[in-house]
Structure 1
Amino acid sequence: MSNLLQLFLAVVTIVVCLGNRVPDSRQNTRKLDVTLVDINSKLTRTSVTNDFESGSPDPWIDTSPTSVYWNVEDFSIPAEVDYPPPTPSIGTKYLRATRDSQLTPGLLVLRTATFAAIPGDSITFKFWIRSKYTGGNTLDLVLAIENVETTLLTLSSYSTSVNFEWRTASSSFPISTPTNLTLIFYGYCGGNSEDAIAIDDILFISSTTE
């Protein structure tokens, strides 16, 4: 009888040990999932880069609430012939605030999807902003974390009637830990014929080797 009891206890012990052990296949799956998340995060971060030569603003999304909207324009065929932008330093395409035939003014919003950034990441881009009156048009770069927005750059001081050049702006992300965030350009383009806003050569700069 004692032999049967010992055999029973041995079987129970083996079953319990096997039940508490994580199968190799599940361990491998977990490691694979983590790897995929890391890769996807890096791809999402670097995809913020766009020189618009493809003709698409992706992954930047136009959510402008008015009749003014962002449009990929070619330097050789500007929408507003009387006031073409300065010649791009590289390529021929850029993103421009486009108005209707009456030059109706309005707000502009351009944003990314939410992506994971890490401390040290930054962004640089070229812009052209012009207006009949100094400061008449606005262009701000904002970082949003959930519902909290932080202005990184305000570029309205460059909005003058004599601005005929592309300028470069850059900003790092004020974060101390890996953070899910969204980048947003807020702009306003007036109704004067001189008024214009354009963005080009958006470059995401990673703090790590991709």
Structure 2
Amino acid sequence: MHTALITGASRGIGAAIAAALAPTHTLVLAGRPSPALQQTAERLGATTLPLDVTDTDAIPSTTAAIGELDVLVHNAGVFLPGPVAESTVEDWRTTFDVNVVGAVAVTLALLPALRRAGGQVVFVNSGTGRKASATMASYSASKFALRAFADSLRESEPDLRVTTVYPGRVDTDMQRALVSFEGGEYDASKFLKPETVAAAVAQAVATPPDGHLHEVVLRPRG
């Protein structure tokens, strides 16, 4: 069975992706140790990998035992809402450290394993990675940067498949925080379900080997 490593898999979209890939892949759920991560792993029969994407010095040794990797899913991310004028340099640094530098560090550490398997890297991006949002300045910028990294990886590693998924607004804890920040009333029916995004990721991974799906743009209906 192929192996998939997923970051940010303790809940929300990441946990849904893990569930979607569980029937076809041996799962490694990477993240900071937490009860939620452990519960997801136990439910799916997965292995956990203690991994802090901001501790870039530790990532190579943490992932060193992975000899081959068929699928790497980048889902870990942080969101600090606010327009440019209300943001701080520390907001930008924190957002980029997690959303961009962390993804780069994990990819570089696992690149030999991905090459051996002729594997696939999936980036869970955002609608704000295609169209910037006034209320999510640092987050939007980080997602544009992540998009550029994925494009560069695809061009420089032709033996790998690199797919970016751009979901619209999804019913997650992050979405609840955004709606609260905006002063709105939360209505889950207006947003994509995490399982819907996970199904799109699973379909991308299941693309026959002669195909290379570069991008998936997914939006709520209506």
TM-score, length-scaled by structure 1? 0.26
Higher relative contact order (CA 8 A, sep 6+): 1
Q: Kindly indicate which of the two structures has a greater share of residues assigned to strand.
A: 1
TM-score, length-scaled by structure 2? 0.25
Larger radius of gyration: 1
Q: Kindly indicate which of the two structures has a greater share of residues assigned to helix.
A: 2
